[in-house]
A and B are shown apart, each in its own frame.
Chain A
Amino acid sequence: MRWWNFIFFILGCTILEMTVLAGMSIFGVRPNFLLIIIVSASLFYSLPQAFFLGAFGGLLRDILSRGPFGINAFFAPLWIFFLVKVAQRISTESLGVRVALVFITGIVYAISLRVVLLSLGQSVVGPGAFFRIAFLESLLTAGLMPLVLKAKVWGR
């Protein structure tokens, strides 16, 4: 998939998340397509392209959510940078490694987001609910990743 076509993929995923998937949650938690976008962009595109795609996905999330504006648009490219560096050091050809990357990125992304929100004085859920949501969200998203990778439409 060309990187500019990936933009339509991001838009389609966001619309799905807001409409169809809004009613399909497990214990009130849905998969996080932004995570899939971040990991896929860092695995299959060059750094500048992945940066742009991550920023676009994060910006879309910020526009449609309530949190401080720009927080996802900032964090998504940051995580893409880290993941590209990780992909340069370890082999990411195996499906298991990719799924593990999604899971770990989800947990760490959620923790970093919570730290930033707390430092900005925003209201957040209690630690029990936070870890439940972060764990389930990462698990569901990691479970969805093999289906996305099977599509075989990626550039490399």
Chain B
Amino acid sequence: MFIFRKKPLFFASLVLLVAFILVSNLPIIKIPLQQVMVLPCRIVSMLTREVSGLIFYHRNFMENRRLKKDIDALEAALARTQEIRLENQRLADLLNFKQKSAVKLIAAKVVARAPDNWTSLILIDKNRLHGIRPAMVVVTSLGLVGRVVDASPPWSKVMLMNDPGFGVSAMAQRSRDIGVVTGTLGSTLLMKYLPKEADIKVSDVIVSSGLTQMYPKGLLIGKVVEVGEEFSGLTKYALIRSAVDLFSLEEVLVMIQ
């Protein structure tokens, strides 16, 4: 026989359950409820991970070792790719400059530097057989580098701007004052024989003046970092930071004229 008084209890429970489900979907109830559940869930899952880590220790150890080897191999491949990307960027810059330039240019790689401290000389992998001759101007996309002093096989010798034997007639782009730029074996160049009344300031751009026949006009040499007066008091000098980093050259362009 059906007990009547149980039915109201059943229906009341059902109604309460439906109401609870509907109400708990409201954000005002849902969010706090979820937040209450977060911490216990985290604790339990952490405990589960630790316990499974202990149980499956050997498997995890072997997988860890394999993954470390994969990481090492990938890091080595990444380093090689990075080097290729950098070389590609440098060659793209050179090619862009070469395409825009009105003169014929030959690209060459720097293979070595002269072994003594009293000259600033690099050896490039192109020579007379490739069309290079002494006195040809050497540049990069950033500016003037130097000139060829010897083109005998198997390589050519290029005297850099910071060699004491180098000299080029140059001018300040802003004031058009003319002087001679020569090397000091360091990272700065010396522009000398500037008139006493020359209007030269720090940060002035120095370019080739074209008065030295072998150097085309307008080749970027560098920027002024210091201005001073010569000991005699008759002329001024300026120290110039070259536009090209002469200590880390890897590729250069030789201007064929």
Residues on A with C-beta less than 8 A from B164 are 123-125
A17→B112 CA distance, assembly (Å): 9
CB-contact partner of B117 in A19, A30, A123, A126, under 8 A: A30
Cβ contact within 8 Å between B149 and A18: no
Interface of B (DSSP majority class): loop
Interface residues on A, range: 20 to 34
Residues on A with C-beta less than 8 A from B8 are none
CB-contact partner of A22 in B113, B163, B184, under 8 A: B113
Residues on B with C-beta less than 8 A from A133 are 117-118, 185
Cβ contact within 8 Å between A122 and B117: no
Known contacts being A123-B182, A129-B185, is A65 close to B165, with CB within 8 Å?
no
- Let me know if B189 is at the binding interface, CB within 8 A: no
A34→B117 CA distance, assembly (Å): 11
- Let me know if A113 is at the binding interface, CB within 8 A: yes
Cβ contact within 8 Å between A61 and B116: yes
- Let me know if A29 is at the binding interface, CB within 8 A: yes
- Give the number of A-B contacts (CB < 8 Å): 69
CB-contact partner of A64 in B114, B187, B247, under 8 A: B114
CB-contact partner of A66 in B117, B149, B186, under 8 A: B149
Residues of B whose CB lies within 8 Å of any CB of A are 112-119, 121, 123, 149, 157, 159, 163-165, 167, 182, 184-187, 247-248
Residues on B with C-beta less than 8 A from A126 are 184
17 residue pairs bridging A and B, Cβ less than 8 Å apart: A14-B115, A18-B112, A23-B247, A28-B185, A28-B186, A32-B117, A64-B114, A66-B119, A66-B121, A66-B157, A66-B159, A66-B163, A67-B116, A110-B118, A123-B182, A125-B118, A137-B117
Interface residues in A8-39 by Cβ distance below 8 A to B read 14, 17-19, 22-23, 28-30, 32-34
